[in-house]
Amino acid sequence: MALKLFWIALAGACGTLARYSLSATVHRWFGSAFPWATATVNILGCFLFGLIWAVAVERSAISPEFRTVLLVGFMGAFTTFSTFISETGHLIDKRALLLALANIALQVMIGLAAFFLGLSLARAV
């Protein structure tokens, strides 16, 4: 278990550095008028999550242990948006459209509300 946590943490560090490097590069190229860096990381993260999932699960080409290291460690640190999209995509794939819409509404709308609540609280203190 300790070794597994070590590999997840190491992959997480790599994911964090990859996110930072990609974000900095995209920010340099396109500026800050629109959040292109975050959009790029999130879209690339969704692509990579789908790619890794298909190779690992559908083709059984990656062991469950290494899949955990890649998806939880690297991808979890690279972007959690990819996990949100993956879970929503799996609900849609299972034809659970109401649950998928509920997941989108819950996380996006309540997430935005929570952001502004936290912002207001910090400003008030």
Contact 68, 62 (CB under 8 A): no
Contact 19, 41 (CB under 8 A): yes
Phi, psi of 95 (to 5 degrees): 65, 25
For position 95, what pLDDT does the model report? 97
Over the stretch 82-115, which tens digit does the pLDDT of each residue have?
888 988 999 999 999 999 999 999 999 998 998 8
Domain-wise residue ranges, the chain: 2-94
Contact 88, 103 (CB under 8 A): yes
- The count of other CB atoms within 10 Å of the CB of residue 62 is 18
Query: Regarding predicted confidence, which is higher, 93 or 120?
Result: 93
Over the stretch 23-70, which tens digit does the pLDDT of each residue have?
999 999 999 888 899 889 999 988 998 898 888 888 888 899 999 999
| pLDDT surpassing 90 at residue 21 | yes
For position 97, what pLDDT does the model report? 96
